[in-house]
């Protein structure tokens, strides 16, 4: 007996799944029953198996299927983002991520420095949309413990985090500037080895996920759940904006999520090795970044991205 598997909603799934497959019904029945609860198998004598997978795979809006141009901050889009940000204020991080995936995938991405918040979001995306492209801005100055998390993510979730690097190596960059520029001008160093790299990495994308929390610093206190990021011309989604540090670490502990072992040595916020130190008791969690400079942000999360 031959069964034909046909999707009732071919536009909602990938081309691979929409192909008509002929399989032996005897072997197909238990497999479909376990994997696709929506599968309807009326009788072994009937040669048609109708699989409705539309509820399992999110539909993408027309902007993802047809529009390949850079997203423009039209008034209609900004209104939508303000409305969605308000509506998502009480949503869980998982619900926020599901909305972002349904609205923007496959042009939805994530940049991570492998911090606790980033690892938490990666854990969620592994369950919601593991195909989401994730990348790290590899400045050449990161701790080895930070880079080791890339392998742990691959082992745990099967997700390959891409390392995005500047055009110049550390040696070339320091030769150009007569030594480590971070010692004299960390703002320019961050711009050259982070901001420019993200601008290039995000080319062709419409939205990106950020791990910022409002309680991290005054600079981040007014961050919306969803907003327009002027610097990168992207929609910025911050699913953990309403979470606290305790919320993040409870998630990590409850689900045994991998994290940077430097956190156990007093490093609350971890960036490039030369510009990061452990924090003292009672200090702000970002006090260990660019110590000695009037600088607490690398420039990825400025407040001029508010919509």
The strand pairing partners of 51, in sequence order, are 7
Q: Quick one: angle between helices 245-255 and 116-128, nearest 10?
A: 50
The Cα 286–Cα 220 span in angstroms is: 12
The Cα 288–Cα 293 span in angstroms is: 11
DSSP 88-116: TTTS-HHHHHHHHHHHHTTSEEEE----H
Active site residue 298: yes
In 3-state terms, what secondary structure has residue 183?
helix
| Cα separation values, 275 from 182, 213, 279, Å | 8, 21, 12
Q: Quick one: angle between helices 93-104 and 116-128, nearest 10?
A: 60
Structure-block tokens of residue 239: 């699913």
Residues ≥6 apart with Cβ < 8 Å to 215: 221, 244, 245
28-57 burial: b if 16+ Cβ within 10 Å, else e? bbeebeeebeebebeeeeeeebebbbbeee
Question: How many Å separate Cα 180 from the centre of its chain?
Answer: 30
In 3-state terms, what secondary structure has residue 132?
coil
Out of 189, 190, 275, 298, the active site residue is: 298
Is 109:135 a contact under the CB 8 Å cutoff? Answer: yes
Catalytic residues: 298
């Amino acid at each position: 007996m031959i069964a034909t598997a046909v999707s009732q909603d071919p536009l909602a799934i990938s081309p691979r799944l929409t192909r008509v497959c002929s399989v032996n019904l005897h072997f197909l029945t238990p497999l479909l029953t376990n994997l696709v609860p929506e599968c309807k198998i009326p009788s072994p004598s009937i040669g048609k198996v109708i699989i409705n997978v539309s509820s399992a795979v999110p539909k993408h809006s027309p902007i993802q299927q047809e529009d390949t141009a850079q997203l423009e901050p039209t008034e209609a889009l900004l209104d939508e983002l303000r409305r969605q940000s308000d509506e998502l204020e009480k949503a869980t991080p998982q619900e926020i991520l599901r909305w972002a995936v349904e609205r923007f995938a496959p042009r939805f991405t994530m940049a991570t420095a492998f911090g606790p918040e980033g690892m938490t979001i990666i854990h969620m995306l592994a369950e919601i949309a593991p195909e989401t492209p994730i990348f790290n801005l590899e400045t050449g100055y990161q701790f080895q413990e930070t880079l080791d998390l890339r392998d742990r993510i691959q082992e745990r979730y099967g997700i390959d985090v891409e390392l995005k690097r500047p055009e110049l190596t550390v040696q070339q960059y320091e030769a150009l500037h007569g030594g480590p520029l971070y010692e004299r001008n960390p703002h320019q160093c961050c711009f050259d080895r982070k901001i420019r790299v993200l601008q290039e990495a995000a080319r062709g994308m419409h939205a990106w996920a950020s791990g910022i929390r409002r309680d991290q610093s005054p600079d981040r206190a007014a961050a919306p759940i969803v907003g327009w990021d002027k610097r990168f011309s992207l929609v910025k989604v911050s699913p953990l904006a309403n979470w606290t540090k305790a919320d993040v670490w409870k998630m990590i502990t409850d689900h045994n999520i991998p994290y940077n072992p430097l956190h156990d040595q007093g490093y609350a916020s971890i960036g490039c090795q030369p510009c990061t130190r452990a924090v003292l008791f009672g200090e702000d969690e970002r006090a260990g970044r660019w110590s000695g400079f009037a600088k607490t942000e690398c420039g990825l999360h400025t407040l001029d991205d508010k919509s």
